[in-house]
Structures are given as C-alpha cells and as structure tokens.
C-alpha cells in the first residue's frame, strides 16, 4: 500500500481532503436536519427543570411559562410512550 501511494503523482492528497470535507459537510447537514425534526432547537426546554417549588424564584410570567412548558413536555412524553408501546405490541403479535 505504501508503495502504491508513493507511485502516485504529486497533488493527489488534495482530493482526499476534498472528499473528507464533503463527507463532514454532509454529516453536519444530516445532524442539523435530525435536530430540527426532533425539537432540539426548542429554547423553552430550559424551563423543564423548574417545578412548583421554584415559584418564589421566578417572576409570575416566567413561572406561568415554566408550568406551561412542563405540561406540554409531559404530554409529548405520554404520547411518545404510547406510540412506543403500540410499536412493541405490533412487533410481538
């Protein structure tokens, strides 16, 4: 293999770099597309860490938003678990 690489003319490595770069760009595009489809860019997700005990640490608007986001996330989780259970039931029979 080393002998073959030495037999190549000068300048072939640029093509290797171009192919590697294209693969990285394509992988990044797929990763961003996946993230967008799976709500990974949701700024409100930070409110999930709060609960009713944190009411005194937030403004009324922030608290209301945190509780709304928590409720929405719990509904999404319940739906995802329901779909997962249906998939398992389909597989098992």
Residue 47 has a pLDDT of: 83
Asked if residues 69 and 45 have their Cβ atoms less than 8 Å apart, the reply is yes
Task: Provide the pLDDT for residue 51.
Answer: 85
The DSSP string of 41-80 is T-GGGGGGG--GGGGGGS-HHHHHHHHHHHHHHHHHHHHH
Query: What tens-digit pLDDT sequence spans the chain (93 residues)?
Result: 778 878 878 888 888 899 999 999 999 999 999 999 988 888 887 888 888 898 999 999 999 999 999 999 899 999 999 999 999 999 886
The structural domains of the chain, with segments of one domain joined by +, span: 43-93
């Amino acid at each position: 293999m080393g002998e073959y690489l030495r037999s190549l003319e000068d300048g072939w490595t640029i093509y290797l770099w171009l192919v590697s770069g294209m693969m990285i760009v394509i992988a990044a595009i797929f990763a961003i597309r996946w993230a967008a489809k799976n709500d990974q860019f949701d700024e409100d997700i930070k409110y999930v860490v709060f609960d009713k005990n944190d009411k005194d640490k937030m403004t009324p608007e922030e608290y209301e938003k945190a509780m709304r986001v928590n409720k929405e996330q719990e509904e999404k989780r319940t739906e995802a678990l329901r779909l997962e259970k249906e998939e398992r039931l389909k597989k098992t029979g």
